[in-house]
Amino acid sequence: MGIVSNKLSRRSMLVGTAAGGLLTAATLAQAQKGDPIANGRGGTNPGPMNPARIDQNPDLMVPPVTDSGTLPNLRFSFDDAHMRLTAGGWTRQVTVRELGISTTIAGVNMRLNAGSVRELHWHKAAEWAYMLSGTARITAIDANGRNFVNDVGVGDLWYFPPGIPHSIQGLDPDGTEFLLVFDDGDFDEDNTFLLTDFMKHMPPEVLAKNFGVPASSFASVPEPSQMYIFPAPVPGPLGADKIAGAVEVPQSFSHRMMAQTPIKMKHGSVRITDSKVFPVSKTIAAALVEVEPGGMRELHWHPNADEWQYYISGQARMGVFGASGQARTFDYQANDVGYVPFAMGHYIENTGDTTLRFLEIFKSDYFADVSLNQWLALTPPELVRVSLHADPQLLHAFNKVKSPVVPA
C-alpha cells in the first residue's frame, strides 16, 4: 500500500520545488513505495511498517525541507483513545496524558443513545460543547437557584461554568454525539462529581436530615458504576420538562453557532463564537472554520492563548513555526485533535477533495489572531522591502484587510 494513495491525489497536482515545501513528482513516486526519500535525502524502508498509519501522516514520513528542529508532537486522534463502553453509550478523551503538549485544554468525545443520560454531575473545570450529531436535552441550575432546560442540535454549543450541576440526555430518533472541551489539560472524565457517588458516600442519617425523609428512602440509590451513562426513557416535549415557577438563568447556557452570519471568502468561511456573542462562555472562545479544496487558513498566530483544534471532516496539513529555526508539519483528518502552542505561527491547508471543517478552540473569553499578510501590509513598505529583499510584485500583494481563508 502506498503511503499517500488517494489522500495525496490533490497534492500530486501541487508538484513544486523543495524550497516551496511541496512534494516533487520524484518524491511522490518514491513515497508511494513507502520509502522516505526526497531530494537526495533519506533511504528505502525495507523493515516493518504500518502502511495505514503512514498513509494518514505523509508529512511525517517525508517532511517538507522547511521542517527543522524538535517541536513536540501536535497531533492525536480520538480513534487512538481508550473507549469506555456503557449500557447507554460510550465516551473517550484526549487530555495531557494522551497529547502531552495540551496543557490548557482537554477534550471528550461522547455518544448517548436515544433516551440515555449522562448522569447529573458537575466539574471543577468549565465545560464547553459542540454538537456533532443528533439532538440532546441539557439541564442545569446556577448558584442562585435559577434553572435552565433546552434542546440542542447539530452545530449548537453549550457552556457550563465550573461547579454548575448539569445533565445531558439523548433524544429521538438516534440520540446524540458531541465534543466536550474543558479548560484544563489535566481534566479527567473519570474525576467528575456524580450525583449517585455523592449520595452513596453520605451517611443515610445525614441524607435523611438534609431532605426531611426517612433514611430508608435512600436504600435504592444505584451504584455509581451503573449510572455514569445509563439508558432511560426518551423524554417528552421540551415544555413538559420546564419547572413551574422556576426562574430561568439570565444568560443562556446554549448557543446556536450555525445561526451566526459567517465571515465569507471565496474559498471558505469562519464563524467566531466568544463571550461577545455567547456571554456565559467566559473561559472558552472558538471558531468554526470551513476551507474549500485547495484553500488554506492563512499564515497567522494567536496572541492570547494556545490553540486546541478538532477536525470534523476533510483532510488537512498544518505547518507550525516555533521560533529559533524550529518548524514541523502534521497531517489531520476527521476526529483528530491538533494543538498549536501560544503565539506560534502556522497555516492549515485543505489537502483533500472535499470541504475541510474544523474547530479552533482557546482558553480565553475572546478570539484573536494576527495575520502575517495584514501585518506586512500595514508596516512601512520600505521597512518590509529591506527586511525581505522584497520585489515590487510582493510589496503590492500584501493585503490590509484580513482574509482568514486564502485561495489556492
Query: Annotated active-site positions, please?
Result: 360
* Other beta carbons within 10 Å of 177: 18
Q: In this structure, are residues 85 and 134 in contact, taking their beta carbons and an 8 Å threshold?
A: no
CA atoms within 13 Å, Cβ hemisphere of 57? 17
Phi (first) and psi of residue 95, to 5 degrees = -125, -170
- The contacts of residue 46 (CB under 8 Å, 6+ apart) are none
CA atoms of 287 and 272, how far apart (whole Å):
4
CB-count exposure of residue 155 (10 Å: 0-12, 13-18, 19+)? middle
Closest Cα to residue 127, out of 5, 355, 281? 281
State the number of CA atoms in the 13 A half-sphere of 301 facing the CB.
13
Residue written as grid cell 453557532: 257
Q: How far is 242 from 234, CA to CA, in rounded Å?
A: 16
Helix H or strand E segment including 122: strand 117-122
List Cβ neighbours of 88 (8 Å cut-off, separation of 6 or more). Answer: 112, 113, 115, 116, 117, 170, 229, 230, 231, 232
Strand partners, 77: 336
Is residue 149 within 8 A of residue 249, CB to CB? The reply is: no
Radius of gyration of the chain (CA): 24
How far apart, in Å, are the Cα atoms of 326 and each of 68, 92, 303? 5, 32, 19
